[in-house]
Structure 1
Amino acid sequence: MVRTEISLFLKNVPGELGKLTSLLSEAGINIDAITIQDASSYVQTLFQARGKSLKRIASSASYNSMRKDSADFALIRMLVNDDDKTLELLNEKDYLFDTVQVIAVKLENRPGELARITTKFGDAGVNINYVYGSVSSPDEKCLFIFCPEDIKLASKIFAE
């Protein structure tokens, strides 16, 4: 199923995630999935990717400076139950964010399910930029979020 993922930067200090999640909670917004990473890891990955393609958008020194500066921030990616309400609230509170279309899939919690799905992506020629997921208990389905390079092609995989 195609969903909208919201990506935003938060200061990497105690209490910031609590402020964000409280804001959403007070507005009646549920977080269906979330992942958090140090933003410097994100910048480092960007630097390495640009280095491989030799199409850097900034010098090595600039990337290293960005990586150091970005350690003060965390990159939050999340799916919520009400995109419009969340985006309006984030705008109102001056959060810096972006959105991207992703594929959210509920999988059986058993060996081989992730392999089955990721093989489908590969067989269709779709590269996966990143993935995250979670399991509540051994008896419940898992929710995995895939960010493919080609959302239109990826969505066709699951239309079957």
Structure 2
Amino acid sequence: MPIKRQLEVMLADAPGELAKFTEILKDEHVNIEAMSIQDANEYLLALYEVRGQTGRRVAPRDYYEAILQESAKYSMIRLITDNPEKAVEVLTKGGYQVKIQDVIGLVLDNKPGILNHISKKFGDAGINIAYTYGAGFSDSEAALFIFKVSDLRKALELFPGGTV
């Protein structure tokens, strides 16, 4: 379970687009195990604001504004499927550009403090968490979380079985 092949796809930010996207996977019997959708514009706007606060903007304001306008048209989907190779094939046929990368998937005890415990273990090992997404139900004993980390091999040494 630990290493997962994550797909990243930019999807038009419009009504019905997610339905079209997921229909391609459904028709080919590809199951989505985990998914995160992020508004590209909101992410870039937050980055722009942080850069302004820190004085670390690296391009003129017009450049940022042009990117913000373009990004308003898209959302980024990150997903884990039961068959990533097939998902890439059918999504590519469907006209989507798909980026693939390895992430770590952990099944966590669904209890207070577990994410703090994992974050500390990563931090103590010098591993940066670029992002994470996951979920667990309140009546479930387990939760699934996906982590994009700076050092996948070292992370696997910390959690070799993928269960915490």
Q: Which runs of 5+ in 2 are unaligned?
A: none
**Separation of aligned partners in 1, 2:50 and 2:103:** 21
Gaps of 5+ in 1: none
Gap change, CA 1:4 and 1:69, over 3 Å in 2: same
How many Å apart are 1:47 and its aligned residue? 4.6
Q: CA deviation at 1:77?
A: 0.6
* CA distance 1:7–1:49, change in 2 (3 Å): farther
CA contact (8 A) 2:24 2:91 kept: no
Match of 2:103 in 1: 102
- What is the Cα-based RMSD across aligned positions, in Å? 2.1
Confirm or deny that 1:128 pairs with 2:129: yes
Q: What number of residue pairs does the alignment pair up?
A: 159
Q: Distance in 1 between matches of 2:29 and 2:55?
A: 44
Residue 7 (str. 1) matches residue 5 (str. 2): no
Q: Distance in 1 between matches of 2:95 and 2:49?
A: 30
Distance in 2, Cα, partners of 1:15 & 1:62: 30
TM-score after normalising by structure 2: 0.86
Q: Give the letter aligned to residue 36 of structure 1.
A: I
Partner of 2:76: 75
Partner SS for 2:112: coil
Conserved? CA contact 2:48–2:57, under 8 Å: no
Distance 1:126 1:53 in 2: 26
Tell me the distance in 2 between the aligned counterparts of 1:91 and 1:50: 35
| Distance in 2, Cα, partners of 1:81 & 1:11 | 24
Distance 1:50 1:156, change over 3 A: farther
Identity of aligned residues (%): 36
